Amino acid sequence: MKPSLRTLASRRSAWGLTALTLLLASCGGGGGGSPLTLSGEVHGLAPTLQGRPTAGMLVLSVNGISQTFSTGSYADKTAISFSRTFGVGETYVIAVEKHPEGQICAVTRAGTGKLDAAVSDVRVDCHTTRLNDTGIAGTTSAEVTARAPDSQSGRDAERAKLTKVGSGAVGFDFTRICPTGEQADASGGCTAQVQWATAANSCVRDNVTGLMWRRADTAYAGVVPADSERVCERVGWRAPTVHELLSIVHAGQASAPYVDTDFFNVASARFFSSEIYRDLPQNERWTVDLASAGMATKYSAGGGPEQRRALWVSGTSALDDPASSAYTRSDVGTSYTIIDTRRELMWLVPKVVSPSDWAAAVASIDAVRAAAPGGYTDWRLPNRNELDALVNRSLANPAMDPAVSVAIPSPQAASVVYWTSSVDVGSPARAWTIDFTYGDVSTMLKTSTARLIYVRNRVFNPAPTTP
């Protein structure tokens, strides 16, 4: 007896479903058994930024499907669980789609794999970014490569994923503040039909450092504003430190002045700081040159009044040297690890190291990571702003925080030039250095030699790994 047409159609449908099921199983997309789940923890996710509440929102994606996570109060860890489920044999990739406000996060464990069972040990680590980046990034892959390794890490590298309070070039995050203290609207308007861009006393709030800046500069004649002078509803205006001036330098720009000119109206000139250059007995004042991508050195006579400028600042930040040391030091054999709890950085200071040229300095990173000193494998060369954080310009020979210089065999060994990861964008044959004799920031030919210190983000990979 021949099967009916309806029976044949039913059999074909069943065969088709069987084939489809086998195909999905072979591709890892439709395995049998109960659906498998992904879960884990976020470490360091903070609900506040500089004392004010923030949503602490972190957006992660798994295989391109995004999910938002947050925390209501700071804890060492926040449990996370992805809403989508997986079949046995299915592969997955977790990525950070959006960093929380004021932080940078990374997937540091179980970020990718093939599921044979539920995964519950996913780990994401977040750290607070208390230092502005250098601006030395790139808009094309060729530029990123040419400006490496600075361009490969930090706020600039993650700029497309940052949650900014305001806006700004690359990793900078500024807010326009009106003379009356309120935030300017989207078109730059203030109350009483005043425009932020043309107001005599408008300001800029740096949402990373917490500092408030006057938008426009002024001639410097050695006199600072009176303590009672109120601008943008702020008092206590003063000359900035070198650290603070360097924090707004956009060294990746093509031309001077080297700041974000959408926010600052300043001259291409040297700007005075509040600090004295300690090469006694001259006692000249430190300057930062916004015409030379932020070169920092002592004032030297010769420029006219137009070359002596000031940019007033108000507030405190985590940029300057603490009154009491925030560093802790550990011996790890051939080096010391030093933790800076104020800036969320960990330093690796070799006890003995021969000076090298810049190319060799960059190449040394692979060997350091392979050796995993302290148990960590993510060491890198510090960028210009990070290395400058170790400078204490109230000292000399070396101009370095004593909690760090004690890890170096002698003051003479510390009072030398050190490489940074930051290239000189305007002169690619040169890279930025810091001379810890007095704390000068300048460039040097890459074929020259200098010493090395390494750095890592303190919260990333907090559990040491075995090499």
Domain ranges of the chain: 38-128, 177-314, 327-457
Burial class (CB in 10 A: 0-12, 13-18, 19+), 302: exposed
| pLDDT tens for the chain, residues 1 to 467 | 444 444 444 444 333 333 323 223 333 444 456 899 999 999 888 776 666 777 668 999 999 999 998 766 555 688 999 999 999 999 999 999 999 988 999 999 999 999 999 999 999 999 888 899 999 999 999 999 999 999 999 999 999 999 999 999 999 999 999 999 999 999 999 987 889 999 989 999 999 999 999 999 999 888 889 988 999 999 999 999 999 999 999 999 999 999 999 999 999 999 999 999 999 877 789 999 999 999 999 987 655 545 689 999 999 876 765 554 578 889 999 999 998 878 889 999 998 878 999 999 999 999 999 999 999 999 999 999 999 999 999 999 999 988 899 899 899 999 999 999 999 999 999 999 999 999 999 999 999 999 999 999 987 654 444 33
In whole angstroms, give the CA distance from residue 251 to residue 442.
Answer: 12
| Domain at 327-457, CATH from 1.25.40, 3.90.25, 1.20.1070, 3.10.100 | 3.10.100
Q: Which of 317, 322, 295 is nearest to 434 (CA)?
A: 295
Show the beta-strand stretches assigned E in 189-269. 203-206, 212-214, 218-219
Contact 117, 123 (CB under 8 A): no
Would you state the torsion angle of the CA atoms of residues 42, 48, 53, 58, taken in this order, to the nearest 10 degrees? -30
Dihedral sign for Cα 453, 342, 232, 163, please: positive
For residue 178, give the amino acid letter: C
pLDDT tens-digit series, residues 418-429: 999 999 999 999
Residue with the two structure tokens 């690796």: 348
| CB within 8 Å of 246: residues ≥ 6 apart | 288, 294, 296, 384, 385, 388, 441
Global pTM?
0.88
pLDDT tens-digit series, residues 36-65: 999 999 988 877 666 677 766 899 999 999
In whole angstroms, give the CA distance from residue 29 to residue 35.
Answer: 11
Tokens, residue 286: 């430190």
| CB within 8 Å of 219: residues ≥ 6 apart | 305, 306, 308, 309, 310
Length of the chain: 467
Contact 411, 405 (CB under 8 A): yes
